Amino acid sequence: MWRRAVCSQLKTLGAAGGKASSSSLPSRFRHADRSFIYPVASSSLFNRYFSADGALKKPVEDVMPIATGHEREELEAELQGKDILDINHPVGPFGTKEEPAVVKSYYDRRVVGCPGGEGEDEHDVVWFWLEKGKPIECPVCSQYFVVSVDACFETSSNMYIDY
């Protein structure tokens, strides 16, 4: 109830454009703050500082200064069009004894899963250890695999580091 009375008086004061002197104001509004008398100015100020529009439209470039560590590496790679994780499984021709499927690794040994071939040749994934220099045949579909060691660098203790 009191809001209607105050708002209606404020609207009439706002419509007058501030031409009313302090003596023409009712006694309860004589010492009122100017931003209280003109609510339009205070509402635009509120919208300017507390609007949510800016928070929703942040491109990667705006986040980069605060990103650190692995998140920063991912964002930089995304800007260059690369996938830093590169966890997509290798796809290639069916491995035969003459031309086995080559699996890259940083180590001399690696766990490999064989999902079989396409269509009817597909089977449940069979997991096995693949070692350097020893081709392995899948016991279900007879696909051959070999490991290719591609180390990024070697440490002094001859251990390959995967990062």
CA distances (Å), origin 152, targets 28, 64, 68, 73, 162: 79, 27, 24, 18, 8
Annotated binding-site residue? 123:
yes
Q: How many residues does the chain have?
A: 163
Burial class (CB in 10 A: 0-12, 13-18, 19+), 43: exposed
Annotated binding-site residue? 7:
no
Q: What CA–CA distance (Å, rounded) separates 109 from 105?
A: 8
Element (H, E) at 101: strand 101-105
Annotated binding-site residue? 138:
yes
Annotated binding-site residue? 114:
yes
DSSP class of residue 52 equals: S
Binding region: 114, 123, 138, 141
Tell me the binding residues for Zn(2+).
114, 123, 138, 141
